[in-house]
Amino acid sequence: MTAPEPPARFTPVYILPPSSRKLVAEEVNRVREVERLPAKRILSSPSGKQIIDFGQNLAGYVNIKLAGTKGTKIRLTHSEVVGQDGELDTNYLVPLPWLLKPKAEYDEVLLSGELCWFHPWFTIHGFRYVEIDGLDYKLELDDMQAIALSSDLSPVGTFECSDSRLNHLYRNVFWSMRSNFTDTPTDCPTRERSGWTGDIQVFSATATKYVDSQAYLRRYLRNLALEQFPDGRVPPVIPSESSDFSGGISRFFSYVSNSTGWGDASVFIPWTLYRYYGDRIVLERQYESCRRWVDHLEHEARNNRGRSRWFARDLGDLENYIIDSGFHWGEWLRPGEGITSIFWSALIPKAVVATAYFAQSSYLLSEIATILGDEQNASRYAKLSEKVRTAWRAAFVQDDGCRIGEDKQDDYVRALAFNLITADQRQAALNRLVELIEQNDNHLGTGFLSTGMLTHVLAENGRPDIAITLLLQDTQPSWLSQIERGATTIWETWEGYDKHGKALASQNHYSLGAVTGWFQEGIAGLVPIAPGYRRFRVAPLVASGLTHATATIETSFGYAKAAWHVTDGVVKLEVIVPSGTSADIYLGNGCNEQVGSGTYHFEWKHQ
């Protein structure tokens, strides 16, 4: 660079024309260090490497004190799992390691010959364990720390109860959310680290009970609208990890952009932000995006007939409201399901799932249109939703609700949660759902899409006992079975490990942890009735096996609380109602109270 003439490889500078793209200010807080964790223990692998256990699965990096001969190469390999053979496992993240070569997360360090503290820049790893290779001396626990990284979102909610396992589960979900809320919501911090729409669709309401996620999810939706296809389809990951410069979205992602449950994030998440924050602005911003998605579903139902109903009874004009074409992920990862479900979804779309989401999104869109004063479209989408519900019942409901769809637990959960069935069919559907759970030895059988609704549906329809039974179940598949096996985050699959004890898939996915949203709303009983908690309900579930529970939430109006405990057969309830709000309080003795702001105490005899 000091020569009189520039190198031959250098070319003249060109001034580009002004860009048509508009720069916008960042809307969310930066990703930063949110916690520093000490090493818990140092393991020695059979191959002679040192493996550091931080005792917590997380997203971040390691800060480590290193010394040694100048030029020595040290490799730090990260993983969530140590195998039964005592070696770090880096093969568990891919379903077919013999076909898809696993890629380990590692940092390499060249020592300078001087004592130093090292940590990487501009990267993030998902790990609990770090394998150190290349050092010729034994590390001490004080020689390293794990630095947890996450978007700087303010905590707003708490939950605590008398069962330490549920408290552990609540913390595990928090750590999975923290690990995957790094600038944009992702599925896992290890494998693809992608912003899958289905994952955040099922989890967004739960997120509002942990952190102030309003601006964070607003920005996600803004990106979704920008990347939405002109015909209304929604890429399965946001950002779509492609651009005009990189050749555009891949053929695979384009093909799966039709999937319901995933693309419905375009409607469900704005509604969540309105319900929990009273955010009318996000409804205005996302309104056209919502409409494009629902209009796309309407077009698909009307113009394309897929394989799944080739041999089904023809419903006449109602066939125009059944979605049975294109690719749909379906319920996704029910217990025991694996990668083969992807191929079945591609071959035979699950019309019972897809059409249910068509009905619910068109209904929510009619509600959004009403709020925004668009009466014409409110009426149009309400009528569309009712047509879809009628078609869904005609196609998939038999014996007055005793049999629905493929007779899976999730078929009945959606039927009840989305009000797809008539009032006189609800009891039969509930009874069949309970029967399926009991036939499964009191275990759940749901996947990504409906697990977060399962306990809510049971409790709201008169079977809180079954909801609690599922929640406290500690054998697979269940939430507490993960706790029993030492999990510190939520697993991607219910199994987590195969029958030989080898880890399966990501160990840090928040989707199946959406149930903890029900801890506040079901167990403690604190539920918004009016948008943004301007009015809320307190209806505690004083359940068998629990002696106390407390939930708090910082609403836009202030601090709200519901706390109950049982002492000597008497239930004592404390409720805090913030200024400018009111609460409807339902006591276990059948009495109801309507109160304004203030602190209240109630007692009744436990039955």
Helix residue ranges, H only, 231-328: 251-255, 265-277, 280-303
pLDDT in tens, 112-157: 999 999 999 999 999 999 999 999 999 999 999 999 999 999 999 9
Contact 146, 56 (CB under 8 A): yes
- In 523-600, alpha helices (H): none
State the Cα–Cα distance between residues 79 and 89, nearest whole angstrom: 7
Q: How confident is the model at residue 90 (pLDDT cuts 50, 70, 90)?
A: very high
Task: Determine the angle formed by the axes of helices 214-227 and 197-207, rounding to 10 degrees.
Answer: 160
Q: Where a domain ends, among 360, 378, 401?
A: 401
Q: What is the pLDDT of residue 134?
A: 95
Report the candidate in 193, 220, 347 with the shortest Cα–Cα distance to residue 289. Answer: 220
Instruction: Mark which of 97, 124, 151 sits at the end of a domain.
Output: 151
Among candidates 574, 573, 564, 579, which has minimal Cα distance to 533?
579
State whether 219 and 105 are in the same domain: no
In a domain, 255, yes or no: yes
| Helical spans, DSSP H, in 505-604 | 517-518
Contact (CB, 8 A) for 538 and 526: yes
Q: Which residue has the higher pLDDT, 349 or 295?
A: 295
**pTM (predicted TM-score):** 0.94
Residue 245 lies in a domain: yes
Which of 151, 179, 198 is the last residue in one of the domains? 151
551-595 pLDDT, tens digit per residue, is 999 999 999 999 999 999 999 999 999 999 999 999 999 999 999
State percent of the chain over pLDDT 70: 97
For 93, phi then psi, to 5°, come to -80, -20
Q: What are phi and psi of 200, to 5 degrees?
A: -75, -25
Q: Which amino acid is at 422?
A: T
Nearest partner of 307 among 289, 293, 327, 290, judged by Cα: 327
pLDDT at 486 over 60: yes
Residue pair 349/327 in contact (Cβ under 8 Å)? The answer is: yes
CATH assignment of the domain containing 108: 2.60.120.260
Quick check: is 256 in a domain?
A: yes
Domain count, the chain: 3
Place of tokens 């139902």: 301
Cβ-count burial of 310 within 10 angstroms (0-12 exposed, 13-18 middle, 19+ buried)? exposed
Task: Please tell me the predicted confidence (pLDDT) of residue 23.
Answer: 80
Range of the domain at 579: 535-605
Other C-beta atoms within 10 Å of 122: how many? 4
Residue 313 is part of a domain; what is its CATH number?
1.50.10.10
Indicate if 252 and 147 belong to the same structural domain.
Answer: no
C-alpha closest to that of 543 among 490, 476, 600, 472: 472
Instruction: Give the CA radius of gyration of the chain.
Output: 26
CATH of the domain at 584: 2.60.420.10
Please report whether residue 431 resides in a domain: no
User: Backbone phi, then psi, for 335, in 5-degree steps?
Assistant: -55, 130
The amino acid that residue 449 corresponds to is L
Query: Is the Cβ–Cβ distance between 528 and 584 less than 8 Å?
Result: no
Q: How far is CA 129 from CA 61, 84, 396, 423, 475, in A?
A: 11, 14, 47, 52, 26
Based on the fold, state whether residues 223 and 337 are members of the same structural domain: yes
pLDDT at 280 exceeding the cut of 90: yes
Same domain for 377 and 294: yes
- Does residue 554 belong to any structural domain of this protein? yes
**Distance, CA of 321 to CA of 319 (rounded, Å):** 5
pLDDT band at 384 (very low <50, low <70, confident <90, very high): very high
Residues 6+ apart with CB under 8 A from 507: 57, 80, 81, 128, 487, 489, 491, 492, 496
Per-residue burial over 441-461, b = 16 or more CB atoms within 10 Å of its CB, e = otherwise: eebbbbbbbbbbbbbbbbbbb
Residue whose tokens read 């994030």:
265
Do residues 249 and 391 share a domain? yes
Task: Classify residue 257: in a domain, yes or no.
Answer: yes
Residue 168 in this model has a pLDDT that exceeds 60: yes
User: How is residue 321 written in tokens?
Assistant: 């409201």
DSSP result, 421-484: S-GGGHHHHHHHHHHHHHHTTS-----HHHHHHHHHHHHHTT-HHHHHHHHH--SSSSHHHHHH
Residue 167 lies in a domain: no
> 10 Å Cβ neighbour count for 426?
17
pLDDT interval class at 206 (50, 70, 90): very high
Does residue 391 lie in a domain region? yes
Rounded alpha-carbon distances, angstroms, from residue 91 to 191, 340, 503: 11, 19, 9
List the beta bridge partners of residue 598.
577
pLDDT above 90 as % of the chain: 84
pLDDT band at 371 (very low <50, low <70, confident <90, very high): very high
Q: What are the b/e assignments for 575-606, b being 16+ CB within 10 Å?
A: bbbbeebebebebbeeeeeeeeeeeeebeeee
* Those residues with Cβ within 8 angstroms of residue 423's Cβ, 6 or more apart along the chain or in another chain: none
Statement: residue 13 has pLDDT above 90:
no
Same-domain pairing of 140 and 235: no
Q: Are residues 343 and 245 in the same domain?
A: yes
Both 217 and 342 in a single domain? yes
Q: Same domain, yes or no, for 257 and 375?
A: yes
